[in-house]
Amino acid sequence: MVAEQHKKTVAFHTLGCKLNFSETSTLSRMMESEGFEKRDFTDRADVYVINTCSVTDNADKECRMLVRRIQRKAPESLVVITGCYAQLKPKEIAEITYRRPE
């Protein structure tokens, strides 16, 4: 009897402009062609991709909130941040961590 292999899962969230939505759609197709199963962002996934905008501080804040939520919900998952915010503030993104309540 052959054990069923776990299919890797991916979830996407887009913050920002129409270009970001187009890019997210392209990334989604690429991941699916590599064998990933697409999940809703609110579901558990092996990989979470957040395509960001950095036009407003609110978008940056929302991205940080989403990363912390994922870290809390699925600490073993990989979080990938792409887009303007990732390009403009990579150090800030690298420092995002979930702070457990004391």
Residue 99 lies inside a defined structural domain of this protein:
no
Q: Is 43 exposed, middle or buried (0-12, 13-18, 19+ CB in 10 A)?
A: exposed
Q: Is the pLDDT confidence value at 100 over 60?
A: no
Contact predicate 74/45, CB 8 Å: yes
Residue 66 lies inside a defined structural domain of this protein:
yes
Number of folded domains that form the chain:
1
33-87, pLDDT tens digit by residue? Answer: 999 999 999 999 999 999 998 776 688 889 999 999 999 999 999 999 999 889 9
Least confident of 1-15, 57-71, 83-97: 1-15
pTM for the structure as a whole: 0.86
Rg (CA), the chain: 15
Residue 1 lies inside a defined structural domain of this protein:
no
- Report how far residue 97's alpha carbon sits from residue 83's, in angstroms, rounded to the nearest whole number: 19
Name residue, tokens 């939505």.
Answer: 21
Q: Which domain holds residue 66?
A: 9-94
